[in-house]
Chain A
């Protein structure tokens, strides 16, 4: 499989990465080189094989359903680029 220029623009938008028109052809050839590389996998018979979900068999640990963290709003906001009155600030979302 390979991608065309429109697919590159669509993927970039899904990934929320702005790409310029000038970058698109180069990205297309790089992505296609990688897709060509992974084509080798088509040769493998995977009928009846379970996809891996956990590389080391382990039971998910359980704990009491209680609050163990919180009350640290200033720390949560400490690295934010823009804050106001204890909130993150973003451009207006709802008209």
Chain B
């Protein structure tokens, strides 16, 4: 019998439908895998009782020939989605013991469609990070072994601080590690500057950040509201399409959520890409670019050409300004959003002689170093005298970035192909200790997409010479996720699905 945790989401769905296997069996297999993978630190809370209860209910529905599109399928949930009565902390001390009395719309949609919740997944604190190292629960290890490491060396590192092991990326590091290590069939994630797509590239899986407004943000712990979007991480393009269809949809509780109906994304998987025009932006060819990444990019373009698409060079001249503008807009919005953590209404509270001291002590203790730094930057760029020079200027540059994409699409380009990350995964403890900007550069290829509100999909496209996964990114027109799924499937078929690492951590 095939290991139940190695099935794709689509395969598991089909087996459940044909009653070849029960949800209880699949869910138990995953709960056991999570237990054996505790040292990866991907899950910060397990909801085993809830999972078994949901699985049993799914089996009843499946036996009656009923059930939703995700009926009985066990998934993981990033810790920033509010789940009623269940641990929801965005991996920050300041939300210690917080149990929301409400459910996020995205997770409510997943449960409506029959999915089974296995637990909550590790992440960078408030999604601020690119390596999952800012989590108050500590770093997550990638299931990929560092080059030339033996299984024994890696196992020893797992139990002694994880230094040198690879990061799964961030901020959705727990989600990526869990999906790649086959601890869940798929997971929810979120993306403000690359937090779905960079971890997908680092762990050899698929992730999509849909168009801004495609998924409701209700019940997601807010970071930067004009950039935040929900999306899935999964092991295949088809699985990501199945997940996104359930996660997305109109919601009266989020006024920025699109009222447009959700298409059947899975139907786009396998659709021909013949005649499509793919843009390759010259500004993404950075000086001193990693030659392996460049070769991967060229190979990706060749695959699409071989499938009948044409590839043309396009220009997105404001690309170099996206990352600096992001590091004004995102902290500014964060400083406003995170003002709510005051030690009064929920979460951590540190005593103070007066209310201002209470706020200052609570926030100093509750927030980690990276969050404190970004809140201070955000406060500074919004403060009197600096607002126009920093914030307004960055928002103008955002208009220019969006205009670049609009021009390319108006010239008939259907989608844009770029690398996902400047390199393969790096080691835990390796980056950003001296200068925070070193870590920020990880998002150089992904952040433009958030700034322009567009959909972006990352699919694995092969391995580096050291044997680590590398991904390619496809950027689409607003609300044209279907084209990305069609093109993503072509890349997945052309390169062959990346074989995920054997469980050395067990």
Chain A interface residues toward B at CB < 8 A: 1, 3, 7-8, 11-19, 27, 30-31, 33-35, 37-41, 44, 46, 49-56, 58, 60-61, 63, 72, 75-76, 78-82, 88, 90-93
Chain B residues contacting A11 (CB-CB under 8 Å) are 376, 379-380, 383
Query: When the two chains form their complex, are residues B437 and A16 in contact, meaning their CB atoms are under 8 A apart?
Result: no
Q: How far is the CB of B230 from chain A (nearest CB, A)?
A: 15
B226 pairs with A55, CB closer than 8 A: yes
- With A and B bound together, what is the CA distance between A7 and B47 in angstroms? 46
Q: Using CB atoms, name the residue of chain B closest to A49.
A: B396
Q: Which of A7, A15, A61 contacts B375 (CB 8 A)?
A: A15
Contact assessment for A79 and B347 in the assembled complex, using a CB-CB cutoff below 8 Å: yes
Please give, as numbers and ranges, the residues of chain B lying within 8 Å of A78 by CB-CB distance. Answer: 99, 101
For B338, give the chain A residue with the smallest CB separation.
A15
CB <8 Å contact, A82 and B101 = no
Q: CB-CB contacts of B315-356 with A at 8 A, as 1s and 0s?
A: 000101100110110000001000100111111110011111
Having A31-B377, A81-B346, one finds 6 other A-B pairs with CB under 8 Å, namely: A11-B380, A39-B324, A40-B320, A50-B396, A81-B343, A82-B349
Q: Does B436 contact A (CB under 8 A)?
A: yes
**Cross-chain contact A80 with B383 (CB below 8 angstroms):** no
Complexed CA–CA distance, A12 and B101 (Å): 32
Known A-B contacts A14-B379, A33-B437, A63-B252; A38 and B327 likewise in contact (beta carbons under 8 Å): yes
User: Is B361 in the interface zone, CB < 8 Å from A?
Assistant: yes
Task: Give the Cβ gap from B15 to chain A, nearest Cβ, in Å.
Answer: 38
CB <8 Å contact, B327 and A34: yes
| Known A27-B373, A44-B400, A80-B346; contact A14-B383, beta-carbon cutoff 8 A | yes
27 A–B contacts from the bound complex (CB under 8 Å):
A3-B380, A12-B376, A15-B372, A16-B339, A16-B342, A17-B372, A18-B357, A27-B376, A33-B437, A34-B377, A39-B324, A41-B393, A41-B397, A49-B397, A49-B399, A50-B399, A52-B226, A52-B396, A54-B256, A55-B212, A55-B226, A56-B258, A58-B213, A79-B347, A80-B345, A82-B349, A91-B357
Size of interface on B: residues with Cβ below 8 Å to A:
74
> In angstroms, how far is the closest chain B Cβ from the Cβ of A84?
13
Q: Does B359 contact A (CB under 8 A)?
A: yes
A55 to B402, CA, bound (A): 8
Alpha-carbon distance A20/B247, docked complex (angstroms): 44
Tell me if B281 counts as interface (CB < 8 A to partner A).
no
Docked pose: A48 CA to B398 CA in angstroms: 14
Tell me which residues across on chain A come within 8 A of B321, comparing CB atoms. Answer: 40-41, 44
Closest to B351 in A: A91
- Beyond A33-B435, A51-B399, is A91–B373 a contact (Cβ under 8 Å)? no
Question: B363 near A40 (CB under 8 angstroms)?
Answer: no
Report how far A88 CA is from B436 CA in the complex, Å: 37
Which residues of the partner chain B approach A40 to less than 8 Å between Cβ atoms?
A: 320-321, 324
Closest 3 CB pairs of A and B: A55-B453, A51-B395, A79-B346
Closest partner residue, chain A, to B452 (CB atom): A55
Q: Which of B212, B344, B364 contacts A17 (CB 8 A)?
A: B364
Q: Are B318 and A44 in contact (CB under 8 A)?
A: yes
Known: A33-B437, A51-B396. Contact between A81 and B349, CB under 8 A?
A: yes
- Chain B residues numbered 297-329 whose CB sits less than 8 Å from any CB in chain A: 318, 320-321, 324-325, 327-328
